[in-house]
Amino acid sequence: MCLVVLAFRHHPDYPLVVVANRDEYYDRPALAAHFWDDRPHLLAGRDQEAGGTWFGVDRSGRWATVTNYRSGALGANARSRGELPVDFLDDTRPAAAYAGEVAARAHRYRGFSLLAGSPDELAYCTNQQGEARVLTPGIYTLSNDLLDTPWPKAEYARRMLTAVLDQPGAPEPDTLLAILGSREQFPDRHLPDTGVGLELERVLSAPFIVSDSYGTRATTVLTVHRDGEVRFIEQSYRRGHPIGRQDYRFPRRAG
């Protein structure tokens, strides 16, 4: 997952709204979002190469997502970061406790940032900094750097989600799905320098990435209403073209 924007306890009716794009090589095999046979409580897509996920939620409304860190990733022998959301959703500890434990062993993984929580709590950790953080209500962005790093596409995503949530009424799922749909690249003067070269920085600057071998494979929307309804929508893509949509609704169970 390479671009996430979320509102935590910001909207009066929706204590949790998350919109996220998963960017990945087109030839890396993965399953679309489903409740896993070996973990019936877990709703997520599944990476068929390493077995983990990029974004998942359980029936109590606990959720987690992980992004890679573009600079300073660890070597090929490091553990897959995709196991972190799965481990959190298998766990029963508060998000802050889990994130603190992950921070203590974060050096074992390839470069990552992790968001984990529920409609009631939110925590963040990364192996680019030492300690986990407990987050307060607000709107947050995460791409392939630290939380709230003001990359152009992250700030664009913040503006888009803020505008949607400032409108009266419930945010429409299709409107949320469209928030990260822009394929427009940003001017060179605004691009970060992460060591991949200017041409690739341009490609990666778009909220929705399309290239020959790598791009946005899915957009996920997660909302939890104050009455307890959880809704999870995943729109999948192949080389920029929509190929399938998963849409789940269920009542939030007590944790």
* CATH classification of the domain holding 226: 3.60.60.10
Per-residue pLDDT for 73 more than 50?
A: no
Residue entry with tokens 């991949």: 196
Structure tokens, 82: 């995709």
Per-residue pLDDT for 86 more than 80?
A: yes
Per-residue pLDDT for 47 more than 90?
A: yes
Q: Supply the range of the domain harboring residue 8.
A: 3-251
Look up residue 253 and give its DSSP letter.
P
| Portion of the chain with pLDDT greater than 90, in percent | 91
Spatial contact of 229 and 251, defined as CB atoms under 8 Å apart: yes
Spatial contact of 65 and 54, defined as CB atoms under 8 Å apart: yes
The count of structural domains within the chain is: 1
**Mean pLDDT, rounded, of the chain:** 95
What is the rounded distance in angstroms from the CA atom of residue 42 to the CA atom of residue 40? Answer: 6
What is the rounded distance in angstroms from the CA atom of residue 226 to the CA atom of residue 206? Answer: 33
pTM of the model: 0.96
